[in-house]
Amino acid sequence: MAKKRWFSKKRTLFLVVCLGVILVAVIIAVAVAGWLAIRVPASPFDGAASAETSSPKLIQRGEYVARLGDCVACHSIPNSRAFTGGLKMATPLGSIYTTNITPERETGIGAYSLADFDRALRHGVAPGRHRLYPAMPYPSFAKLSDDDVRALYAYFMHAVPPVRQQNKPGNISSPWNARWLLALWNAFFTPSGTYQPKDAAVPGRISTLWNRGAYLVQGPGHCGGCHTPRGFAMHELALDESDPRYLSGALLDGWYAPSLRNDSNTGLGRWSEAEIIQFLKTGRNRHAVVFGSMTDAFNNSTQFMRDDDLKAIAHYLKSLPGDAERDGEPLEYKAAWIAAMPPSEWLKIPGAQTFMTQCSACHGQDGRGQSQWIPPLAGAASSLARENASSINVTLNGSTRVVADGIPSAYRMPAFRNQLSDQEIADVLTFVRTSWGNEGCAVKAKDVRALREQTNPASSNVIVLQMR
Ligand code: HEC
Ligand code: HEC
Ligand code: HEC
């Protein structure tokens, strides 16, 4: 009986219709994917003559936009000529190298028209439908204004010396190295369209200053590349303030870039606008000193920003609400914490002895650091964040030189990689993260071991710069 029903005409018809629908859906999906893969996005500069692009004023503006975008930090390696590329960056599928963006015609971008340059910068498509990996922050650069793109082009074409240097191939293996796949990624994760100012008519909140700040942070500054958490496809989970995950803190390349929202403990809630400006301009303030991957952003970008632009950035960041649930009770500094205990008592706390002998000369027994030169550990975002990567990484490896105004900083966090064991580092950081009122969670020896391996240049499992 059942058999007979299976072959009933109705059932057959139903199956045929289902298969037909699936087939049509597959054909449509393939057609859309194919269309996306071969589509060349339009540029407002298509067909534009580039003769007017070499005025000194435009070039100067372009140089400034290149500073805002920190192009040099990715498109150079130490001791190389600027913008010749060669920096190794990791993607989840393997490594790629940044490219030569000097105006050399064969190995660089010398043959690019303004429209070609625009498509690479704002859409991630280089000439020949060559899709770029989003390690190049085009999801952020998509917001750049036409005028800034034109200025950047003028700068690269007329003020950067051409250098002949071949690009290095990456090591992403087949089939993932097929670049048309990136067209699909782009379709989902790269918005198109330049930054649109919010209505300046709303009194008090949306001002020209706020809009300029939003533009700088979301667009050229690509702050979210490090400070916004990423999803399963390594895409930033939010690209502007309409989503509370925007700039809410993220782990990348073995560093934790903390929240830039008004979270009191782990964000900028306790910072004034003036203190944010001071940090971005001089690399330090009473709360923190630049370290980790922020050093790149500071050394090559934020310190060169004009005062009015820094003001705009600070103003915009201070408008982003924190999240008390994520951030916890506001920290209460407990000054008398150690003083109240006899040494025989506090020396029993694991890590206390290491702190007193190795760290307190600089960071102070009271954990408050020394004016602006040595940052406090009491109340530092790195001590309060749930993620302990920054605490561990800076203790293992110290910091790279912060160079403000051409002058390298006199004080640096030393590397303790060779002095302290995994357990000693875990203990001293657990001590730091739970003293003076700090309530970051404990650090385990296995966390230290993992980062020690990943940040050891001799290891085969070393962290290279990721998408940021
Ligand atoms: C976070 C690192 C990073 C930053 C910052 C960055 N780039 Fe890139 N860029 C890359 C990477 C990586 C590639 C190569 C991507 C690939 O091969 O798929 C690239 C590719 C390019 C290309 C395409 C070049 C070619 O070979 O066709 C251009 C043009 C470019 N970048 C310009 C810029 C400019 C201008 C800036 C600053 C406004 C900038 N980039 C900032 C990482 C970066
Ligand atoms: C390459 C990654 C990267 C980029 C890009 C980046 N940051 Fe950071 N930032 C970090 C890391 C990592 C830290 C934590 C280390 C530190 O405090 O210096 C940090 C720290 C900070 C802090 C101090 C926070 C605190 O509580 O101590 C501020 C403020 C900041 N960044 C602002 C910015 C702004 C504004 C931009 C964009 C113009 C930006 N960052 C771009 C990685 C980055
Ligand atoms: C020679 C002085 C010196 C000593 C000793 C020292 N530090 Fe540091 N530390 C610094 C400086 C300076 C910075 C800021 C980054 C920079 O400019 O190098 C820093 C930054 C840090 C940070 C990041 C703070 C933040 O703003 O989030 C942590 C965590 C830290 N140190 C932990 C330690 C620990 C743990 C020890 C002992 C094992 C130690 N330091 C010993 C000078 C020192």
Probe target for ligand 3 pocket from 255, 287, 363, with the most ligand atoms within 8 Å of CB: 363
Read off the DSSP letter of residue 286: S
pLDDT band at 332 (very low <50, low <70, confident <90, very high): confident
pLDDT at 295: 94
Q: Average pLDDT for residues 68-92, to the nearest whole number?
A: 93
Res 218: pLDDT:
98
| Residue 52 backbone zone (phi > 0: left; psi -120 to 50: alpha; other: beta) | alpha
Please give the single-letter amino acid code of residue 411. Answer: Y
Ligand 3 proximity of 375 Cβ (cutoff 6 Å): yes
Which residue's alpha carbon is at the smallest distance from atom 5 of ligand 3?
359
Instruction: Give the separation between CA 249 and CA 243, rounded to whole angstroms.
Output: 13
pLDDT for 51 equals 53
Tokens (6 digits) for 222: 């690509």
**Per-residue pLDDT tens for 251-286?**
999 999 999 999 999 999 999 999 999 999 999 999
With a Cβ cut-off of 6 Å, ligand 1 is lined by 66, 69-71, 73-75, 89, 96, 98-99, 101, 109, 117, 120-121, 126, 132-133, 135-137, 152, 468
Q: Name the percent of the chain lying above pLDDT 70.
A: 94
**pLDDT for the residue numbered 5:** 58
CA-proximal residue: ligand 2, atom 30 (nearest): 260
CA–CA separation, 206 and 215 (whole Å): 13
Span 223-253, pLDDT tens digits: 999 999 999 999 999 999 999 999 999 999 9
Mean pLDDT of 3-16: 74
CA dihedral defined by 316, 317, 323, 327, rounded to 10 degrees? -170
Q: Which atom of ligand 3 is nearest to the CA of 416?
A: 38
Residue 175 is encoded by which pair of tokens?
């089939």
CA distance 453 to 33: 40
CB 224 within 8 A of CB 239: yes
Atom of ligand 2 nearest to the CA of 279: 29
Average of per-residue pLDDT across 125-153: 95
pLDDT given at position 468:
46
Residue 288 CA, closest ligand 2 atom number: 27
* Region 324-350 average pLDDT: 83
CA atoms of 335 and 386, how far apart (whole Å):
23
Measured CA to CA, the distance from residue 275 to residue 263 in angstroms comes to 15
| Rounded CA separation 248/144 (Å) | 23
Token duo for residue 233: 């496809």
Closest ligand 1 atom to 144 CA: 38
| Percent share of the chain, pLDDT over 90 | 68
Residue 1: per-residue pLDDT: 45
Provide the pLDDT for residue 213: 97
Name the DSSP letter for residue 244.
T
pTM of the model: 0.93
Nearest CA to ligand 2 atom 31: 294
Q: Find out whether the beta carbon of 394 lies less than 6 Å from any atom of ligand 3.
A: yes
